[in-house]
Structure 1
Amino acid sequence: MFEVTVPEEMLEKLRDMLDDEESCVRLREYKTGGGCHSKIVLGLGIDELDEDEDERVQVEDVPFIAEKDFLLKHGRKYTLSFSDKKEVVLTPAGE
């Protein structure tokens, strides 16, 4: 099992985004930029659980999922927060 620490304000927004019982909040990587200026950032998406590839954890009533390979690469503890610009920030919390 992995852990996600989420402020209540963000949980409320995530609840509004989940449109059905099958939807979960996915922890994922995004590639930004291009060429030698590209970088990987961590973020969120809305997706359905793949029972073979994903692990799932419930934070209050919000389901979070992550691919097993993602957890091996980035760790098993995460913190969600808002940036100064109110953007979502997903940070590995270390172990």
Structure 2
Amino acid sequence: MNATIRLQREDFDAAAETAKLVHGRTDIGAVVAFTGICRDNEAGHGVAAMTLEHYPGMAEEEIARHVLDAQARWPLLGVTVIHRYGRMVP
């Protein structure tokens, strides 16, 4: 199974990442995606921005552990995890 894990500050195109994951493959029956976004309020309080931090090395290891857990539970053919960090606005 091919697994890609990236931590990055830059935005990315989720559709382009999906296209890369399935390119040339005819054995894939489904693609599941989760994309988190920054909302403009939390419990009635305005949110101007949020900053996501990470601990280099530790974050990648923890994400890899989750990928291995998922791989043990389901017959995954490929995984791409892109975790953004830095300042994000609604």
TM-score between the two structures when normalised by the length of structure 2: 0.24
In our comparison, the structure showing a higher alpha carbon Rg is 2
TM-score between the two structures when normalised by the length of structure 1: 0.23
Greater RCO structure (CA 8 Å; 6+ sep): 2
